[in-house]
Amino acid sequence: MLQCSGNGRALFAHEASGTQWETGAAGCVFWSGVPVKAVVEALGGIVDGLAYMTSTGGEELPAGLDPKSLMVERSVPLGALDQAILAWELNGEPLPLAHGGPLRLVIPGYYGVNNVKYVKQVAFTAEQTDAAIQASGYRIRPVGQGGAPDQPSMWEMNVKSWITQPLEQAKAGRVRIQGVAFGGAKEVKGVEVSLDGGKRWQAAAFVGPSLGQYAWRPFVLFVDLKPGNYSLVSRATDVEGNIQPQEGLANERGYGHNGWRDHGVSMSIV
């Protein structure tokens, strides 16, 4: 699955700049392509002493401006090579321009910005790129502070879930609560749902087959509800025991929000 770094930005208490996403900047699709590792091995492998895979997008940049301030060039830890692919198909169809075609770097488990569109170069480097999108952009920084290379970068996604139905109202009786959960860089193990804002939890069940470590899992919980108001929240756990936290980590640009409380749904049973 693919998720924007700013998915959930609108849910933070402070007004972070950028598109005000709640849960809409994520999706789960099938990619087709060739493993980057296979290409690298066919070309002789990687020399010792390198630490990052650095990929450059093929956007045409305006003349007369500093290319480093505009170019899309991202560095990720070399370990990402194990799952990275050069993709040319999306759900069995040629990859459209809007989604990065004709060729896109896809790194399962990593935030969308690292999945470079229109990729024209993949290099292996000792240091991270000094392009602005890496050096100061997409960094987890305290509210009010500027970005810097020594701050955590938006690389691997964290464990997360949210409710998708019902969102406002349902009839009394048997109610189907459903949502999606994923482990980010790790496989999701389970998900719980609370009807009272996190005071009491009960296990939900995954629906359908597992499509692999990096795919999200739809979940469902059937409950009998009487008329009244309910606060629905969900929290996921990955295979290493990392649990979706109650609060997201506040940061200047509103990145990586996975707090279960802010993703909750207030609904009425009538």
Predicted pLDDT at 202? 98
Predicted pLDDT at 173? 97
DSSP conformation class of 138: S
Closest CA to 36 of 83, 95, 102, 91: 83
Mean pLDDT of the chain: 97
- Measured CA to CA, the distance from residue 134 to residue 74 in angstroms comes to 6
**CATH no., domain 160-269:** 2.60.40.650
Cut 0.85: pTM above it: yes
Residue 195, CB-side half-sphere exposure with 13 Å CA sphere: 17
What are the E-state strand segments in 91-203?
93-94, 104-106, 119-125, 160-165, 169-170, 173-182, 188-194, 202-203
Spell out the CATH class of 2-135.
alpha beta
Domain ranges of the chain: 2-135, 160-269
pLDDT average, residue stretch 144-163:
98
- Measured CA to CA, the distance from residue 230 to residue 198 in angstroms comes to 11
**Strand pairing of 169-170 and 265-269?**
parallel
Distance, C-alpha 185 to centroid of its chain:
9
Predicted pLDDT at 105? 99
